[in-house]
Structure 1
Amino acid sequence: MNILVIGPGAIGSLWAIKLQQDGHQVAVFGRQTDSEYQCQFDESCYTFNNRQADDVTHADLILVTVKAWQVASALDSLPQPINPDTIIMLMHNGMGSLDTIGSLLQTNPVLLATTTHGAFKPSSSQLIHTGQGETLIGAANAQGGRCQFLRDVFDHALPAVHWHPQIEHALWRKLAVNCVINPLTAIHQCPNGELARPEYQAIITRLIAEVSTVMTAESIPVNLEQLTAHIYQVIHATSKNQSSMHQDVYYRRKTEIDFITGYLIRSATKHGIAVPENDTLYQHIKTLEQQWESLNEL
């Protein structure tokens, strides 16, 4: 397949390399203006076309791995219109990016994906695969439902990959994890494992209860005990990791809070549900972002 990866960060680069290793024609579209992107991985160097108009024109699949708030602008910045037959797969934390690409939902097959693979870029041209995981793929529209063959394509490149007939359920489960881990580790500037300490137990319990109530209102199957156990399992399994929001706050970058906790709050408001603990964390992160913006304007 001809595959274009928009956003060759850690996860985007991991998939670009694995798909190229598996024999696909892979190009990238990144922020750097160089015509080529090179990345060192497992003592080998991989080279990809970067920002080439022909790669947009001929893409069978566009894999979008930028952050949720960047999806619409990244697709709009492409130098050529996207062919209506091109499959678009969104793979990022949070929910709500579909609302920003409404026109493509009407024309193109669109898929949503979530992965638990760990990846880290110690520099702009180096990649480390920090942890094995699994990837779930599902359809965002009717056309996407005809693209189940991509499960085999992705599974052959980097297992394990599963087709999820109700991908929204999986995304809500991931959102629940992110609503707990990301803002807390960002605010306290701690690795994920610190959240297992007793002093965090009470707020985590309240956060999960709020998320569970909203999930139920959204008709997402949820068991409070199982969801709690799952979130603590992720905290322990990723104990040494720094969440993406932790890193964004550290480097004073815009976060994905609007597509994580913000999405939860918007869903709660729709159902008339109060989520004060999540709202407090949301306001804390937004205040930090506004402070950085004010400093940048000085």
Structure 2
Amino acid sequence: MGAGAVGCYYGGMLARAGHDVTLIGRPAHVQAIQQQGLRLQTRDWTERIALQATTDANGVASADVVLFCVKSTDTETAGAQMRPHLSPQATVLSLQNGVDNAPRLAAVLGRPVIPAVVYVASGMAGPGHVQHHGRGELVISPYPDADAFIAACAQAGIGVTVSEEVQGALWAKLIINCAYNALSALTQLPYARLVQLEGMWAVMRDIERECLAVAAAEGVAVPGDTWAAIEGIAQSMATQLSSTARDLMRGHPSEIDHINGYVIRRAEAHGLPVPANRLLHALVRAREAGHPPMPTASAP
């Protein structure tokens, strides 16, 4: 549900492994997939994969598992569209940016939603054409019958880890997104070039510290070394533009309210100052409100 770059990648990989997959997406993508199949392009191979595609939320009707991949801004709307068509036995996983989508979606659906952390670099290169730039693993909360989904993913070459600490992992990813998304959007630079700008690492360090303070106030233990993870992204996703950068380039609404904006709201609840996050959020919102789509910068 929400077959953009993330949904098309995971759906395409599962279909390539022989699983019955339906992509629910926007008309241009659906039409291209119906006519020519999904073009899935990785660093090592490119294939056209035959699978079902529709623009209608009733495409979830016979699903055993629904991968919910819509933007955070569309969670409630898409959930309401999907709700009448879900079978009672269907498992719904939220593969979205941000840390609060699973409970928001669960409230709309009136049923549990399994949070998942997505580590994949992918983008839509055109209608029905997804490019995979790297990674692709998932971390999910435990749930009954998770073994069947994990086995299906393993057949498709998708690594899945089950963890009781998904909330902390979601925060760890949120911190990375807070550090990169707005800055990549405002400069229209891919990550490796972004961090070469004077003073950029110091700004990102300020963002990370603010986010960690808010997470601590929320009672969330963020696993691992978040700064090392931020540094590593500049190498592992060197040529990647952030999703926020692509949204600004295309004149689409971004998820900034659910990235830096979420940190701001939770900081306000605890009386914490987050000036770096507040500035980036305000600048992205200003760009969304007052400027036309921006040309993309060429990757190195």
Taking structure 1 as the reference length, the TM-score comes to: 0.85
SS in 2 for 1:211: helix
Quickly say closer, same or farther: Cα 1:131–1:203, change in 2 above 3 A.
same
Alignment-derived partner of residue 155 in structure 1: 154
2:183 equivalent to 1:190: no
Asked whether the equivalents of residues 53 and 80 of structure 1 are also in contact (C-alpha less than 8 Å), the reply is: no
Alignment-derived partner of residue 100 in structure 2: 96
Cα deviation 1:7-32 (Å, max 9, x = unaligned): 22122111112112223211121121
Tell me how far apart the structure 2 counterparts of residues 264 and 53 of structure 1 sit (CA, whole Å): 31
Quickly say closer, same or farther: Cα 1:45–1:58, change in 2 above 3 A.
closer
Quickly say closer, same or farther: Cα 1:126–1:53, change in 2 above 3 A.
closer
Asked whether the equivalents of residues 68 and 259 of structure 1 are also in contact (C-alpha less than 8 Å), the reply is: yes
Name the Cα RMSD after superposition. 2.4
SS in 1 for 2:21: strand
Quickly say closer, same or farther: Cα 1:203–1:55, change in 2 above 3 A.
closer
Asked whether the equivalents of residues 134 and 237 of structure 2 are also in contact (C-alpha less than 8 Å), the reply is: no
Alignment-derived partner of residue 87 in structure 1: 91
Alignment-derived partner of residue 144 in structure 2: 146
Alignment-derived partner of residue 114 in structure 2: 111
SS in 2 for 1:58: coil
Alignment-derived partner of residue 176 in structure 1: 175
SS in 2 for 1:25: coil
Alignment-derived partner of residue 284 in structure 1: 283
Aligned amino acid, residue 121 of structure 2 = G
Quickly say closer, same or farther: Cα 1:239–1:62, change in 2 above 3 A.
same
Tell me how far apart the structure 2 counterparts of residues 212 and 103 of structure 1 sit (CA, whole Å): 27
Cα deviation 1:105-135 (Å, max 9, x = unaligned): 642x411112222223221122232213421
Aligned amino acid, residue 20 of structure 1 = A
What is the deviation of 1:270? 1.7
Asked whether the equivalents of residues 196 and 236 of structure 1 are also in contact (C-alpha less than 8 Å), the reply is: no
Asked whether the equivalents of residues 136 and 162 of structure 1 are also in contact (C-alpha less than 8 Å), the reply is: yes
What is the deviation of 1:222? 4.1
Tell me how far apart the structure 2 counterparts of residues 233 and 97 of structure 1 sit (CA, whole Å): 26
Asked whether the equivalents of residues 91 and 112 of structure 1 are also in contact (C-alpha less than 8 Å), the reply is: yes
What is the deviation of 1:98? 3.4
Alignment-derived partner of residue 296 in structure 1: none
Quickly say closer, same or farther: Cα 1:231–1:79, change in 2 above 3 A.
closer
Quickly say closer, same or farther: Cα 1:114–1:222, change in 2 above 3 A.
closer
- Among 12, 16, 33, which residue is 1:17 paired with? 12
- Among 52, 60, 66, which residue is 1:62 paired with? 66
Tell me how far apart the structure 1 counterparts of residues 211 and 110 of structure 2 sit (CA, whole Å): 31
SS in 2 for 1:146: coil
Tell me how far apart the structure 1 counterparts of residues 95 and 83 of structure 2 sit (CA, whole Å): 21
Alignment-derived partner of residue 206 in structure 2: 206
Asked whether the equivalents of residues 64 and 89 of structure 2 are also in contact (C-alpha less than 8 Å), the reply is: yes
- Among 52, 76, 82, which residue is 1:72 paired with? 76
Asked whether the equivalents of residues 133 and 160 of structure 1 are also in contact (C-alpha less than 8 Å), the reply is: yes
Quickly say closer, same or farther: Cα 1:32–1:220, change in 2 above 3 A.
same
What is the deviation of 1:233? 0.8
Taking structure 2 as the reference length, the TM-score comes to: 0.85
Poorly superposed stretches of 4+, deviation over 6 Å: none
Asked whether the equivalents of residues 94 and 116 of structure 2 are also in contact (C-alpha less than 8 Å), the reply is: yes
Asked whether the equivalents of residues 68 and 95 of structure 1 are also in contact (C-alpha less than 8 Å), the reply is: no
What is the deviation of 1:181? 0.2
What is the deviation of 1:195? 3.2
Structure 2 stretches lacking a partner, 5+ long: 41-45, 293-300
What is the deviation of 1:281? 0.7
Question: Percent same amino acid at aligned positions?
Answer: 26
Deviates more, 1:248-257 or 1:109-118: 109-118
What is the deviation of 1:254? 0.3
What is the deviation of 1:175? 0.2
Quickly say closer, same or farther: Cα 1:53–1:30, change in 2 above 3 A.
closer
